[in-house]
Amino acid sequence: MQILVRAATWLSVTMLTLTLVASAQGEDRSRSEVVRLYHFREAGAIAEVLERKSSEDFVKSIGSDLVIIDAPPGEDERRHKLKRLIQQMDLPRPQISMRFFSSQLNAKGDDAALGDALGLGHELLRRRVRDLSGAMQGAIRRGVWYLSEQIRCYQATSPSPSKIEPRACPEKGIQAIDHEARIFRDYIQSPLREGENYTLAYRDAFAPFPASLSRLFLLLAATDNPSIEASKLVSVMEGRWPGQYFKSDLVVLCDPDGAVPKQADSEPKADTSPRVFRSFGPLLAELLERGRGRRLRSALADYLFHYKWSVQYPDDFVSYDLRRSADTLDSLFGGLVEAFNADLEVCVDRAMRRLPWEYTDLEKDNRRTRRQAFEDEIAGLKMQIKAASPEDKPDLEEALDGVKRRAERDRGEHERRKSLGKKIGYASNGLVAVSSLSGRSAKVDGGVKHYFGFQKPISFGDALEAAKEALNDDDDETSALDVLKNDPRVAAANVALAIAKAAADPERTTVAISDGTSVEVTPMALSSAASAELEIKLKIGEREEPKQTKGDETKTARIDRIVQHTVEDTVRVESLKLFELSTFAQGHRLPGSGCWWPGTWDVILSREVTRCPYPVVGHAVELLVGPIPWLGNKVMKPLSIDVGPKTSLSQSSAVISALVVPTAADIALGLRFDLDGLGEKKFDSPRQLLPFVPKGLHTVREYHKGLVRTLMGLDGPREKARARRAVRDGSAERRVVP
């Protein structure tokens, strides 16, 4: 009986199980997962691409930032793969900070040298753009080179990274090894070797090229004692430390008042106070002090690991870890890059807003210094010639002639530069600054209106009319002189009071000029954030015609100027480099009107008639002083009318600078890594990496997490493995090991 009961019970349970399985198979057990987009918020485009890739209707979009993956039964692996693809696309975009400078010049008159003057103004503008670009890029190159040299001092002297000994670098002040920095360098750069722990094999990670802001941060994290190197780094970037660096162009252009003079001593003193990077320097030191540089090292190691795995093992990396590590690294870079950009903006604005055609006191001092240097060099060569042997004299005399020629060229250029400002008439400078994410369009439209007031100097006749009004004489037929002659009440004090009143309220003429700049730009950062492609629509010009107001009368002001300069182009810009986008120039020349009776000497010498002397007096004076070039021009100018040809030249230039703000993705794109493997054999699964994991650990990912904790100053993989063995063997008290 019991056997029958057990059999019936077994049969009932079996039937119930089969029924549940059948019902479960008949149901739709699809799993839906929502993925939010944080950076590349194009949910519709992503869903369309993934649907075409999977050939099934798995992916849906809601709005612009939500993607739903609705995987059918048994398609969990495909769902995870689609999610990983989405996370690889949704990485932070680089930001591009752009600055557009415009400069318009006009020169007008009868001087044949106007074209030369305008050409010199354009040459000075281009020279300043070139010098500033070289100075900013030179700062990054110097910083990268300096940090690379510091790291070189700690590179291994033997093939095994476990036997690292520091090189003798007493000039760098190196005394001890930072073991966490050593672990970081080995993990990032060393190739994968049999019998050793796993490494990422970014072979050129600490090379000094290409020089970029992201490479600068990577090298700084790899240095021993980065908090100490931070202050030295800023000084090196400014060209003021150590002794072999002299005053750089960056300090001269960005801080001319506080520029450090060139040091000629064999051992110049170190000067570490920032002159240009006044925001970036202190913020960098604050970030790296008190061991905070560990955060930068651990964040870099974490992201570079997940990035490499997303490329080599696309079916095994964790999408959440990739996005989290990228966001962590970007948060560390964000403040530093903003401070660096702010310092460069101040530098560029200060350099570009100083009009290149204005003759400044600084240029005057520089000219005096150069002239004294030429005089000293010439005097020294003359003394050497006197004491030299006959065989050496020809060479010294040739050198002396060369110095004299250079001094003469410098003097001529200085005279041209000095007279340039006197020939420039109307001038206009503009600046537009805008920042945008890569691939996003930005529009800026700005206009200004300036009023210029001019007053007519008071004449003696105006003063007499004011005195007449002060005496309340309303007789229009009586002149001001009659009033002063006939009215005994007029005293000198009253006349003086009337003149003062007229001078206090002179007749004024106001000129209103309205212009502006419109920019529409779509930037696209290129590989490794070293450059960007800009699609630009730039319009510079006036918004309305200039107006001239005199009393109640308003009319159009006749001013020679650039009316409009429009550029529509696509260009490639290197980060931290200024370049000339476009230049527009136009000139006109009209012939002179001539005169009925030209100057006597103009007729005798067959010269071009440019001035028409006044009858009798003008011709008499011209006959006496006409042949004398300088005196004739000075004397005849007030005694003649200008009737020569008229020339008007105008020129407009547009200059661009761009700073590509690097993201975590840009850092990784700028580095090359070796695929995991031994020799010609490359691995295709993380399981093949188990021989490169320390004992006590089970996966490479577990080893990596422990190493990141080590870089943070916490328990590392070896400590964890040792603790686990102690617990397993019973040789230590049981404790929780994460």
Per DSSP, the three-state class of 154 is: coil
Q: What is the pLDDT of residue 161?
A: 38
What mean pLDDT is reported for the chain?
Answer: 75
pLDDT in tens, 252-303: 777 655 444 444 343 444 455 677 888 888 888 887 775 667 888 999 999 9
pLDDT band at 125 (very low <50, low <70, confident <90, very high): confident
pLDDT band at 670 (very low <50, low <70, confident <90, very high): confident
**Which amino acid belongs to residue 414?**
H
- The count of other CB atoms within 10 Å of the CB of residue 179 is 11
Judge whether residue 639 has pLDDT over 90: no
In whole angstroms, what is the distance from residue 545 CA to residue 430 CA?
Answer: 18
Q: What is the pTM of this model?
A: 0.71
In whole angstroms, what is the distance from residue 229 CA to residue 37 CA?
Answer: 38
In whole angstroms, what is the distance from residue 103 CA to residue 655 CA?
Answer: 9
pLDDT in tens, 574-587: 888 888 889 888 88
Q: What is the pLDDT of residue 594?
A: 63
- End-to-end alpha-carbon separation of the chain, Å? 56
pLDDT band at 725 (very low <50, low <70, confident <90, very high): low
- For 67-135, the DSSP string reads EEEEEPTT-HHHHHHHHHHHHHHS-PPPEEEEEEEEEEEEEEES-TTHHHHHHHHHHHHHHHHHHHHHH
Q: What is the pLDDT of residue 674?
A: 92
Contact 202, 188 (CB under 8 A): yes
Residues 6+ apart with CB under 8 A from 537: 518, 519, 520, 521, 567, 568
Tell which residue, 592, 637, 591, has the closest CA to residue 614: 637
Tell which residue, 512, 514, 509, has the closest CA to residue 552: 509
Distances (CA, A) of 319 to 73, 399, 660, 705, 713: 22, 69, 26, 16, 26
Distances (CA, A) of 667 to 143, 330, 660: 17, 10, 12
For tokens 């020089």, the residue is 211
Mean pLDDT throughout 482-489? 55
pLDDT band at 520 (very low <50, low <70, confident <90, very high): very high
pLDDT band at 17 (very low <50, low <70, confident <90, very high): low
Q: What is the pLDDT of residue 478?
A: 55
Mean pLDDT throughout 151-172? 47
- For 21-81, the DSSP string reads HHHHHHS---EEEEEE-SS---HHHHHHHHHHHHTSS-EEEETTTEEEEEEPTT-HHHHHH
Contact 296, 334 (CB under 8 A): no
> Is the bond preceding 598 in cis, omega lying within 30 degrees of 0?
no
Judge whether residue 230 has pLDDT over 90: no
Q: For a pLDDT cut of 70, what percent of the chain falls above it?
A: 66
Q: What is the pLDDT of residue 539?
A: 93
pLDDT in tens, 290-349: 566 788 899 999 999 999 998 899 888 888 898 889 888 988 888 888 888 888 888 887
pLDDT in tens, 37-64: 888 888 888 888 887 766 667 788 888 8
* Helix extents (H) in 598-644: 600-604, 617-625, 629-636
For tokens 């537009």, the residue is 432
Q: What is the DSSP letter of 162?
A: G
Burial class (CB in 10 A: 0-12, 13-18, 19+), 249: middle
Mean pLDDT throughout 419-433? 78
More confident residue, 727 or 419: 419
In whole angstroms, what is the distance from residue 692 CA to residue 186 CA?
Answer: 14
pLDDT in tens, 65-99: 888 888 777 777 777 888 888 887 887 888 888 88
Mean pLDDT throughout 94-111? 82
Q: What is the pLDDT of residue 441?
A: 92
Q: What is the pLDDT of residue 565?
A: 93
More confident residue, 157 or 113: 113
**Segment (H or E) for 570:** strand 564-574
Q: What is the pLDDT of residue 5?
A: 53
Rg (CA), the chain: 39
Judge whether residue 173 has pLDDT over 50: no
